[in-house]
Amino acid sequence: MLKKIGLVVVVLLGLFVAIYFLFLQQRYPLHAITHSFKIGDSIDSHNGIVVYNNGGIYSKSHGKHYKKDSSYYYGKKWQCVEYVKRYYYDYLNHKMPNGYGHAKDFFNKKLEQGEINKERNLLQFYNGNSEAPTENDLLIFDGEFGHVAIITKVEENEIEIIQQNIYMTPREHYKLKFENGNYTIGERRKPLGWLRLR
């Protein structure tokens, strides 16, 4: 009887491990599960701009974050918006005219393809249109609050992004398709589009 129970436990454990590595590893990396990161700990960086841990509750922020001399408001610690604003300001020397609002508010659905988004002072492009994404573009997703990320790499069939406040998953990859002269990022989860520095 004990041998049968032991065999069942081993089979279930093996099944769990297989499911994890096949379906969950990218979303919940092993280092994130086993490491005891604290709120505000550095978990990644790109071009010297650090991604901080926001913890497991994505809607929670940990106070306001300003440039050291208080001259520019980055956003709420450690939300996704805070990272992209800090990246654009510290790395690309770009100050957004309007730095407020949820992530989804960064994309203006009333604009035409390639027009200036005056709230962010960036060119705006729609997903599924003729403008290819490039490194440093700011990617915007819709949703209750939305989500924003920075494109770090563009390859023929895939892009890589860096982001803050997606539980311990600062890097993700999305499929990139080019069909009939148009570029589309994503499959199940597709961004609205991307913003670009002029």
Question: Over its length of 198 residues, how does the chain's per-residue pLDDT go in tens digits?
Answer: 777 777 777 777 777 667 766 766 555 555 555 555 799 999 999 999 999 999 988 889 999 999 999 999 999 999 999 999 999 999 999 999 997 899 999 999 999 999 999 999 999 999 999 999 999 999 999 999 999 999 999 999 999 999 999 988 999 999 999 999 999 999 989 999 999 999
Q: What confidence score (pLDDT) does residue 3 get?
A: 74
Q: What confidence score (pLDDT) does residue 126 get?
A: 98
Q: Count the neighbouring beta carbons within 10 Å of the beta carbon of residue 113.
A: 12
Would you state the structure tokens that stand for residue 99, as one six-digit string?
């730095």
- Please identify, in words, the CATH class of the domain defined by 39-196: alpha beta
Q: What confidence score (pLDDT) does residue 29 get?
A: 59
| Residues 138, 150 contacting (CB under 8 angstroms) | yes
Q: What confidence score (pLDDT) does residue 10 get?
A: 76
| Residues 76, 89 contacting (CB under 8 angstroms) | no
Q: What confidence score (pLDDT) does residue 162 get?
A: 98
| Residues 150, 161 contacting (CB under 8 angstroms) | yes
| Residues 39, 56 contacting (CB under 8 angstroms) | no
Q: Is the pTM of this model over 0.75?
A: yes
Q: What confidence score (pLDDT) does residue 117 get?
A: 98
Q: Count the neighbouring beta carbons within 10 Å of the beta carbon of residue 80.
A: 26
- Greatest alpha-carbon span in the chain: 71
Strand pairing report for 182-185 and 171-179: antiparallel
Cite the DSSP H helix spans in the chain: 2-19, 30-34, 80-90
* Distance separating alpha carbons of residues 78 and 107, to the nearest angstrom: 20
From residue 94, alpha-carbon distances to 12, 74, 84, 87, 150 in Å are 52, 12, 11, 9, 14
